[in-house]
């Protein structure tokens, strides 16, 4: 909610752990390359997902 109040219209929650658990909450297996380029270039994204090909993602549009 706070992000939306500051003008954010899209967000994604990512994890690389416990895929079966997070699938129950609407997360889907997503190729890292499908994430927006701005996200892929962030330091945190590179640190956590740089060597991975997939992650669990839930888009919050």
- In this prediction, residue 54 carries a pLDDT of 92
- In this prediction, residue 20 carries a pLDDT of 94
The pTM score is 0.74
Mean pLDDT by groups of 10 residues along the chain of 61 residues: 79 89 92 90 90 89 76
- In terms of Cβ atoms closer than 10 Å to its own Cβ (0-12, 13-18, 19+), residue 52 is exposed
- In this prediction, residue 59 carries a pLDDT of 85
- In this prediction, residue 43 carries a pLDDT of 93
Taking the domains of the chain in order of start, what are their residue ranges?
2-60
């Amino acid at each position: 909610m706070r992000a939306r109040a500051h003008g954010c219209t899209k967000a994604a929650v990512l994890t690389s752990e416990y895929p079966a658990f997070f699938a129950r909450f609407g997360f889907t297996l997503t190729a890292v390359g499908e994430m927006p380029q701005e996200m892929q270039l962030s330091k945190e994204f590179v640190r956590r997902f740089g060597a991975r090909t997939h992650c669990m993602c839930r888009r919050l549009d």
